[in-house]
Amino acid sequence: GAVVSQHPSRVICKSGTSVKIECRSLDFQATTMFWYRQFPKKSLMLMATSNEGSKATYEQGVEKDKFLINHASLTLSTLTVTSAHPEDSSFYICSARYPEQFFGPGTRLTVL
Amino acid sequence: SQQGEEDPQALSIQEGENATMNCSYKTSINNLQWYRQNSGRGLVHLILIRSNEREKHSGRLRVTLDTSKKSSSLLITASRAADTASYFCATDDYNTDKLIFGTGTRLQVFP
């Protein structure tokens, strides 16, 4: 199957800093990528749809100024958590369609 | 909430037994998929069943879909300790093309 990578796999940062997470489709081009958030022992919640060459579409309740998404190329989408706070600590997973969704391995963010 | 419901939330069985997980959803769908997630890891795609299909098999997995009841089940036969993981159903929303996940079932298989 298609491969989606994420970097970093784990990040610890101080409160108030910004963190960028990369999502890459390694062997295919993806005009659409998705970003999910998962709390411990919970399901995945869709945060936003990342569209190559246009603005991301955010789900209700997700702050677009807090979670900046940039889909700069057909193989790369980035999620930047701005001014991170401890409540932003979570597991962030991206996916890309080809044609079904393939998921990245996830990024665990811990904000101290 | 658009999220589907899965039951049971948690299931513990012995190796060799069968495990059945159920998923209910709310909207019209193009297809329904089942995923597996080991603790702290990404998702592994298990099987996809289209809205015009009623049953699908893949190895020890059997998936059924009842669109009239908006429900699906995943059966894992002859379970193994390595099947221990969380299992999620996800529906491909017909109108929005988004993937909506169920609440998940945590399966524990004891050797």
Burial of B78 (0-12, 13-18, 19+ CB in 10 A): exposed
**B40 in contact with A, Cβ within 8 Å:** yes
- Does B33 contact chain A (CB < 8 Å)? yes
Phi, psi angles (nearest 5°) of residue A86? -55, -35
- The per-residue pLDDT for range A60-84, each reduced to its tens digit, is 999 999 999 999 899 999 999 999 9
Cα–Cα distance, A57 to B98 (Å, whole number):
11
pLDDT value for A54:
87
Contact A96, A23 (CB under 8 A): yes
Chain A environment of B106 (Cβ under 8 Å): 41
What confidence score (pLDDT) does residue B1 get? Answer: 46
pLDDT category of residue B3 using cuts at 50, 70 and 90: low
Question: Per-residue pLDDT averaged across A44-48, rounded?
Answer: 94
In 3-state terms, what secondary structure has residue B82?
helix
* B45 vs A: CB within 8 A: yes
Q: Rounded distance, CA A37 to CA A67, Å?
A: 11
pLDDT tens profile B59-85: 999 999 999 999 999 999 999 999 999
Stretch B8-26: mean pLDDT, rounded? Answer: 95
Rg (CA), chain A: 13
Query: Which residues does B17 contact at the CB level (< 8 Å), separation at least 6?
Result: B79, B109
Q: List the single residue in A with minimal CA-CA distance to B43.
A: A103
Q: Does B98 touch chain A (CB under 8 A)?
A: yes
pLDDT tens, position by position, B27-64? 888 899 999 999 888 899 999 999 999 999 999 999 99
Beta strands in A52-111 (DSSP E): 57-58, 67-73, 76-81, 90-97, 101-103, 107-111
Chains A & B: contacts with CB separation below 8 Å: 48
